[in-house]
Amino acid sequence: MEDMSALDNPSGTAGPQRGPTMRRRRGFWTDTRFFIGIALIVASVAGVWAVVALSRQTAPVYAAAHTIVPGQTVTAADLTVVDVALGHSADAYLAPGKAPRGAVATRTVEAGELVPASATVPAAESDLTTVVVRTDADVPTAVRAGAVVELWAAAQTERGVYDTPRVLIPRATVASVTRDDSMIGGGKTALELAIPRADVAGTLAAISAGSALSVVPAGGAR
């Protein structure tokens, strides 16, 4: 009797074998890594947008209308308002409505420079004041408003005779320079200097005693 299995498979080949059930491939939208990647992209775009938006935001702050020197009382005439993009550093600069009344400059602020909030203090907290001195010697051209200078004095021992010059004030800041080349002025130059209050008495004593005064650029000054 013929094998019934041969009749069922005339070609003689083995029939398909059923293996383990194939795992169905999951869609990419069910992969956690896909959502993490999307989140990172969104965060990156949002960060770039925030930086660009912040850089476009401007705020009004003060800039120096002209050179401001230490010891000078800062008034509205010394300031001009400008709109600049400063981002998170805006609080570091003096802004309208935040300038203390009667504020005094603590350092030189060049014309056009933004005024740092730390560059002014209330007048009661300032240890600087200004005096006017007249020099007999020529003043270097580098000596101008904002320049840091040394004040030298040569004591008068007798009429027309002076002792060896010495440094009276090692660092003073020039507030203004007035050169008088007329005959009446005797060719002297008047300088308004910002000096520490502790040096005022010595300076006034030298002036009243008729000492010969000179100014030279301070060492290391710009």
What is the tens place of the pLDDT at every residue in 37-52?
777 887 777 766 666 5
pLDDT tens-place string over residues 97-132: 877 778 889 888 999 999 998 898 888 888 888 899
Q: At 86, which CATH number?
A: 3.90.1210.10
**pTM, 2 dp:** 0.62
Asked if residue 158 and residue 109 are part of one domain, the reply reads: no
Domain tally, the chain: 2
CA atoms within a 13 Å half-sphere pointing along the CA-CB vector of 32: 0
CA atoms within a 13 Å half-sphere pointing along the CA-CB vector of 193: 31
Asked if residue 134 and residue 99 are part of one domain, the reply reads: no
Looking at 80, 105, 124, which one is the last position of a domain? Answer: 124
Asked if residue 133 and residue 80 are part of one domain, the reply reads: no
pLDDT tens-place string over residues 47-76: 666 665 555 677 889 999 999 988 888 888
User: Is 103 domain-assigned?
Assistant: yes
Q: Which pLDDT does position 91 carry in this prediction? A: 83
User: Is 10 domain-assigned?
Assistant: no
Asked if residue 88 and residue 145 are part of one domain, the reply reads: no
Instruction: Please name the residue ranges forming H helices in the chain.
Output: 4-8, 32-56, 200-208
- CA atoms of 8 and 168, how far apart (whole Å): 125
Asked whether the predicted pLDDT for residue 186 surpasses 70, the reply is no
Asked if residue 197 and residue 180 are part of one domain, the reply reads: yes
Asked whether the predicted pLDDT for residue 201 surpasses 80, the reply is yes
Residues in the chain: 222
User: Is 159 domain-assigned?
Assistant: yes
